[in-house]
Chains A and B, each alone.
Chain A
């Protein structure tokens, strides 16, 4: 038997094994702790910060839009929206979250996933992807209640546009849409995201003033450094650079007049597929009312238009999204005779003393065969006409001769006609601050060669002079020519925005009248044309409609629809009226266009009613 002492000494010593094991173990732990905290500590500190710090953009409130008297036309309304921050979704369990969110929203998980995917992942995963806007209060409360089960889901208060006037101002104001590459083009889209602090969940002005004045209305977003918890919810705000709110716009439009004009036009356009009315101040280019019918409700876009609604708008044969006032191209017909008259007077082709006998037709020599003649017809045999009478009666023969001449009379010729047409603003955009403006078309020798592969014939010159040619103009261009006639030769750029105010309502920028050019025509010639237009309205059919005590000048026209526009409207006519008042001191000009109708019977009476309303609107305090 071994004595216990020896055994004790050896075996008892084994507690040291455990001591040494314990010390070694804690030394290894200390080494690893040192490595993590001291050696690699800085890197981990940065990584931890990235874990919970987010730089967010603070959207600025969008500027409001007022009419010329300070009445609100576009404002902001708060809406709740729910969005998903892809970075905060638990990887591999996205569908679980989609499913739960879909359950609370009453849709299916696929729809949620699609909404997230639709916005793309190309941008940073910390930007929220909007899943749905316009949440009702109950849904918001439910989402907040379940937020712990919904990592990556955030509820935001957003601002949406609200347009109290709806369709009446839809074309002017336009609307905003979610920013996208399709909307802006790839380059512009990337530029705004990278340089202008747009985020992929932002909305941008997509049409009308909302688009043109995006820079003013938007303001400049601030930035906010926030701390978020593991579900992506903001826990506290660490620093904020406040946003600069958008500027407000004050329009030249008078809301009440715009309403009245829209109502009148709607009432009187009858079965016309489209109609336009333009009311302007001829002395500075301010647009007082600008109506294009049919219209649409731009509030639909603000609250997130559905695919069906958008499809219906796009498929509507009346093309309600199309702003005919600035984008519609129509032959102005007899209204162009005013240009011919002015050109002839200025070029000395005609004078107040010029008298031409109208037999109801004009025989002109054929370009192809000098031995044969072509007969150009007129509506009636007007007898002997001077310029004022010719304008009043819209005598074709008179203007055929002024334009094309004949053996006994030297006309202007195509070049000079075209030059004056251009000087008066045909064939170029007026430069109004509205979207989708068209330049129109002034036919020339070169244009005809290119477009029709055909020579310019003398017949083309006659047709142009009398307003029967290929010339196309927008209602706004026609209105602007009338303004120049009314004010004696100054061509203004039409304006929709009068003032830009900062968010506190202080005047930032007064938009002064912008003169496009002084048309080089003597004052007397303008006056003579004004007399012709005044005389035009002095007919039994219209006399009763003229406002009392005010001399009105105007010219209507009835134009056969271009052959290309389809069989349905074959033989039907488009109607124009353009005019101003008072003749001696013009305050307001009115231009009306009806896509179907008669100049004298339809357009003129309607325009005169609008004119009367406009004059009284101007007098209102």
Chain B
């Protein structure tokens, strides 16, 4: 009996979604390979440690994804509470014992030995699950108390992450909340009010920013004003992308990339590498892959057997959409640089594993036995 249920669940998995994720991860590995390529004479294939590490993270991520695919919803609900509390604890811990790159004095990582662990990444998934619990309801409209609790539940980790400081990830949390609140059926009037309140809060937020964050935002408006400082990478990214042309210069052939004119080109600016070396065609391929994946996640929202599952999928879609657009927008110099990695592509273990785990959770949502249907 139990065996047949398991077999049935395997059938429910969204294999296309997983395939899209796998293609994106492989695409990312290829780009990291190119972005960190250092020619060593006599060696045909020089795999940098970045590629190897990312491949290991990907393997870990897919393993986690597979494991999560078959968990029960009860366990997910339990994990939502435990994960959320755990995430808060980890975010506090990172502020106390964490370490980070000294350039901006940010504390984002906890050293777990095998990987430098960035708690703000899994915190996103934990928040999605927790918000799904909070926002789940069967009223025609979202009760206001749920809205309030969800906002509070978002602002606490967002504030902790903002303190690291990591503006980008805290914005991702707000975006997740926004997307999920919309799906949860917040009345349009309330939505408009929230929007106005957000606008009103902008000046306060502005003064809450650190100097470097403010200058990053400002420089986005006029990168030419500081071509060798803050504006440098924006200009170099634009140059890399622009010089790629229609077909690109070829993998490993991008002179902007290979001569290290771009900084953090394996991480936040990996799209510039792609656009330079594989051109418009390669970039559009990435857009299509990402868009298809996000649509696939939204399809999971529609197919979820209950409101909880629907909200989880909506949260994951919001997270992926916001991160992709903000990262790509920064590369394309139409949005300020906030330091958000490109999902599945940028080098970085915590983000990759979290994103793959999120897809695993979606598989679990899709494959829940029918007793949870309503």
Q: Decide if B260 touches A230 in the complex (CB within 8 Å).
A: yes
Contacts of B314 in A (CB 8 A): 15, 18
Pairs A-B, 3 closest by C-beta atoms: A44-B242, A91-B228, A48-B243
B259 to chain A, nearest CB (A): 4
Q: A15-B301, A17-B182, A52-B261 are in contact. Are A22 and B294 (CB under 8 A)?
A: yes
Docked CA distance A235–B256 (Å) = 13
Choose from A4, A26, A38 the contact partner of B287 (Cβ within 8 Å). Answer: A26
Q: Tell me which of A29-37, A163-171, A299-307, A497-505 binds B.
A: A29-37
Range of interface residues on chain B?
35 or more
Interface check B35, CB cutoff 8 A: no
Q: Decide if B279 touches A230 in the complex (CB within 8 Å).
A: no
Within 8 A of A (CB), among B297-311: 298, 301-302, 310
Q: Decide if A15 touches B183 in the complex (CB within 8 Å).
A: yes
Q: Decide if A40 touches B259 in the complex (CB within 8 Å).
A: no
Range of interface residues on chain A?
35 or more
A positions within 8 Å CB-CB of B = 2, 4, 6-7, 10-12, 14-15, 17-19, 21-23, 25-26, 28-30, 32-34, 36-38, 40-41, 43-45, 47-49, 51-52, 90-93, 227-231, 235
Q: A17-B182, A47-B239 are in contact. Are A230 and B261 (CB under 8 A)?
A: yes
Choose from B140, B227, B229, B329 the contact partner of A7 (Cβ within 8 Å). Answer: B140
Contacts of B291 in A (CB 8 A): 22-23, 26
The residue of chain B having its C-beta at the shortest distance from the C-beta of A233 within the complex is B259
Q: Decide if A15 touches B298 in the complex (CB within 8 Å).
A: yes
Q: Decide if B259 touches A229 in the complex (CB within 8 Å).
A: yes
Given contacts A11-B140, A228-B259, 11 further A-B contacts (CB under 8 A): A10-B185, A15-B310, A33-B275, A36-B238, A37-B280, A37-B283, A41-B242, A41-B245, A43-B242, A48-B239, A90-B228
Within 8 A of A (CB), among B225-247: 227-229, 236, 238-246
Q: Decide if B244 touches A41 in the complex (CB within 8 Å).
A: yes
Choose from A12, A26, A32, A51 the contact partner of B239 (Cβ within 8 Å). Answer: A51
Choose from B240, B241, B302, B334 the contact partner of A15 (Cβ within 8 Å). Answer: B302
Q: Decide if B283 touches A33 in the complex (CB within 8 Å).
A: yes
Q: A45-B243, A52-B261 are in contact. Are A29 and B317 (CB under 8 A)?
A: no
Choose from A7, A18, A40, A93 the contact partner of B183 (Cβ within 8 Å). Answer: A18
Interface-central residue, B242, B287, B332, by most chain A CB under 10 Å = B242
Contacts of A230 in B (CB 8 A): 259-261
A218 to chain B, nearest CB (A): 33
Choose from A14, A25, A48, A231 the contact partner of B182 (Cβ within 8 Å). Answer: A14
Q: Decide if A14 touches B246 in the complex (CB within 8 Å).
A: no
Q: Decide if B242 touches A45 in the complex (CB within 8 Å).
A: yes
Contacts of A227 in B (CB 8 A): 255, 259
Interface 0/1 of B307-351, CB less than 8 Å to A: 000100010011001000100110011100000000000000000
Q: A15-B314, A48-B256, A51-B261 are in contact. Are A41 and B243 (CB under 8 A)?
A: yes
Q: Decide if A25 touches B245 in the complex (CB within 8 Å).
A: no
Contacts of B184 in A (CB 8 A): 11
Q: A37-B241, A37-B246 are in contact. Are A29 and B228 (CB under 8 A)?
A: no
Supply 20 A–B pairs (Cβ within 8 Å), ascending by A.
Answer: A11-B185, A15-B302, A18-B314, A18-B317, A18-B318, A19-B298, A26-B290, A28-B334, A29-B328, A32-B332, A33-B241, A33-B280, A36-B242, A37-B275, A40-B242, A47-B239, A48-B239, A48-B255, A51-B239, A228-B259
Interface check B78, CB cutoff 8 A: no
Contacts of B229 in A (CB 8 A): 91-92
Q: Decide if A14 touches B280 in the complex (CB within 8 Å).
A: no
Interface check B138, CB cutoff 8 A: yes
Main SS class of interface, B: helix
Interface check B139, CB cutoff 8 A: yes
Q: Decide if A38 touches B246 in the complex (CB within 8 Å).
A: yes
The residue of chain A having its C-beta at the shortest distance from the C-beta of B321 within the complex is A22
B20 to chain A, nearest CB (A): 14
Contacts of A34 in B (CB 8 A): 280
Q: How many A-B residue pairs have CB under 8 A?
A: 142
B227 to chain A, nearest CB (A): 7
Contacts of A91 in B (CB 8 A): 227-229
B244 to chain A, nearest CB (A): 6
Interface check B193, CB cutoff 8 A: no
Choose from A4, A15, A90 the contact partner of B138 (Cβ within 8 Å). Answer: A4
Contacts of A49 in B (CB 8 A): 243, 255
B positions within 8 Å CB-CB of A = 138-140, 179, 182-185, 227-229, 236, 238-246, 255-256, 259-261, 275, 279-280, 283-284, 287, 290-291, 294-295, 298, 301-302, 310, 314, 317-318, 321, 325, 328-329, 332-334, 374
Choose from A7, A18, A33, A47 the contact partner of B185 (Cβ within 8 Å). Answer: A7
Q: A4-B138, A43-B242, A52-B259 are in contact. Are A36 and B332 (CB under 8 A)?
A: yes
Docked CA distance A252–B139 (Å) = 111
Q: Decide if B239 touches A44 in the complex (CB within 8 Å).
A: yes
Contacts of B261 in A (CB 8 A): 51-52, 229-230
A590 to chain B, nearest CB (A): 64
Contacts of B240 in A (CB 8 A): 48
A230 to chain B, nearest CB (A): 5
The residue of chain A having its C-beta at the shortest distance from the C-beta of B298 within the complex is A15
Docked CA distance A346–B328 (Å) = 100
Choose from B241, B245, B298 the contact partner of A18 (Cβ within 8 Å). Answer: B298
The residue of chain B having its C-beta at the shortest distance from the C-beta of A12 within the complex is B302
Contacts of A41 in B (CB 8 A): 242-246
Choose from B228, B242, B310 the contact partner of A37 (Cβ within 8 Å). Answer: B242
Contacts of A12 in B (CB 8 A): 302, 310
The residue of chain B having its C-beta at the shortest distance from the C-beta of A40 within the complex is B242
Q: Decide if A25 touches B321 in the complex (CB within 8 Å).
A: yes
Contacts of B227 in A (CB 8 A): 91
Q: Decide if A33 touches B290 in the complex (CB within 8 Å).
A: no
Interface-central residue, A4, A15, A32, A235, by most chain B CB under 10 Å = A15
Contacts of B302 in A (CB 8 A): 12, 15
Q: Decide if A7 touches B239 in the complex (CB within 8 Å).
A: no
Contacts of A40 in B (CB 8 A): 242
Docked CA distance A4–B138 (Å) = 7
Docked CA distance A235–B253 (Å) = 13
The residue of chain A having its C-beta at the shortest distance from the C-beta of B325 within the complex is A25
The residue of chain B having its C-beta at the shortest distance from the C-beta of A228 within the complex is B259
Q: Decide if A37 touches B279 in the complex (CB within 8 Å).
A: yes
The residue of chain B having its C-beta at the shortest distance from the C-beta of A23 within the complex is B291
Docked CA distance A40–B229 (Å) = 24
The residue of chain B having its C-beta at the shortest distance from the C-beta of A48 within the complex is B243
Q: Decide if A36 touches B241 in the complex (CB within 8 Å).
A: yes
Contacts of A18 in B (CB 8 A): 179, 182-183, 298, 314, 317-318, 321
A217 to chain B, nearest CB (A): 37
Q: Decide if B243 touches A44 in the complex (CB within 8 Å).
A: yes
Q: Decide if B301 touches A45 in the complex (CB within 8 Å).
A: no
Docked CA distance A70–B260 (Å) = 51
The residue of chain A having its C-beta at the shortest distance from the C-beta of B279 within the complex is A37
B180 to chain A, nearest CB (A): 10
B138 to chain A, nearest CB (A): 6
Contacts of A90 in B (CB 8 A): 228
The residue of chain A having its C-beta at the shortest distance from the C-beta of B245 within the complex is A41
Q: Decide if B287 touches A30 in the complex (CB within 8 Å).
A: yes
Interface-central residue, A29, A34, A227, by most chain B CB under 10 Å = A29
The residue of chain A having its C-beta at the shortest distance from the C-beta of B142 within the complex is A11
B58 to chain A, nearest CB (A): 24
Choose from A7, A17, A33, A229 the contact partner of B332 (Cβ within 8 Å). Answer: A33
The residue of chain B having its C-beta at the shortest distance from the C-beta of A36 within the complex is B242
Q: A15-B183, A15-B301, A92-B229 are in contact. Are A32 and B334 (CB under 8 A)?
A: yes
